[in-house]
Amino acid sequence: MSLTAIIGGTGLTRLERLDIIRRETLATPYGAPSSALTFGRLAGRDFVFLARHGDPHTLPPHRINYRANVWALKQAGADAVIAAAAVGGIGERMGPGRLAVPHQLIDYTWGRAGTFFEDELDHVTHIDFTVPYSEDLRRKLITSARAAGLSIVDGGVYGCTQGPRLETAAEIARMERDGCDLVGMTGMPEAALARELDLPYAACAIVANWAAGKGEGEITMAEIERHLARGMADFVELLTRFAES
Ligand code: HPA
């Protein structure tokens, strides 16, 4: 029986459509995950949901225990991870409200515990990360979105910044020169940790705002929240189609 993990980001602390079966608070060798795991069914499929920033939403991106989160999902029996990720849009196709399924990433974070492979090792392990997202899972997300009548961008380079502050316009200009289309704060080390545990991982990015310097004036939390409310509702539609497929 397959069990798909959903990691909910900013704007998705609970998955209202899930018929909840049970909640479980797991301990891991890396400490406590951000929230209890919620197990349930949606459109006939089993899911386990984790609120990345905690429930209520209190953990900033650099304080999230990514290792505990990914470990707990693996321990719970998840065989794939779909991450919802609020992002800023850099590329011109990535305006507020847009959904996108990135195909590549660049990690600009620092100081985050980013590997399971560091203590009591028999040998040093370097995972392959050439293609950071599961192509199979990416295709399923894109097909599900289109079946739900949602427009979605297939691909994009996700740049992960440290946060919690938003970026400067110059930082975004540099990221654009680097080839980034989207900017978020939580995609790494999450994606790499999933790979270390052999968990297929893909992200659905929900564009909350134009990244710094790409839109008019300052970025406000009110703007972010407004676009996220709509984008996350679209993501839940996508997920329902995914469950039915
Ligand atoms: N930058 C980084 N992360 C984000 C942004 C942004 O502009 N918007 C939502 N998450």
Q: Summarize pLDDT for 57-66 with one digit per residue, the tens.
A: 889 999 999 9
**123 Cα–ligand 1 center, Å:** 37
Check residue 121 and give its pLDDT: 79
**Residue 124: which pLDDT band, with cuts at 50, 70 and 90?**
confident
Q: What is the pLDDT of residue 120?
A: 78
pLDDT of 122 above 90: no
Please tell me the predicted confidence (pLDDT) of residue 169.
Answer: 98
C-alpha 171 to ligand 1 mean position (Å): 12
Could you tell me the pTM of the whole model?
Answer: 0.96
- Percentage above 90 pLDDT, the chain: 90
| Mean pLDDT of all residues in 140-158 | 97
Distance of CA 165 to the CA centre of its chain: 18
pLDDT at position 57 is 85
Q: Is 184 in the pocket of ligand 1 (CB under 6 A)?
A: yes
Query: Is 106:160 a contact under the CB 8 Å cutoff?
Result: yes
Q: Which residues contact 192 (CB under 8 A, 6 or more apart)?
A: 107, 114, 115, 127, 129, 132
pLDDT band of residue 16 (cuts 50, 70, 90) is confident
208 lines ligand 1 (CB under 6 A): yes
Residues at the binding site for substrate are: 185, 209-211
ipTM reported for the complex, 2 dp: 0.99
Longest CA span, the chain: 53
Q: Which residue has the higher pLDDT, 11 or 172?
A: 172
Which of 224, 225, 227, 228 is the pocket-test mutation for ligand 1 (most atoms within 8 Å of CB)? 224
Q: Among the atoms of ligand 1, which is closest to the Cα of residue 161? A: 2
Strand partners, 153: 100
- pLDDT reported for residue 163: 96
Mean pLDDT of 107-117: 96
Model confidence over 206-216: pLDDT tens digits?
Answer: 999 999 999 99
pLDDT bracket for residue 10 (50, 70, 90) = confident
What are the angstrom distances between the C-alpha of 222 and each of 19, 98, 226, 228? 30, 17, 6, 10
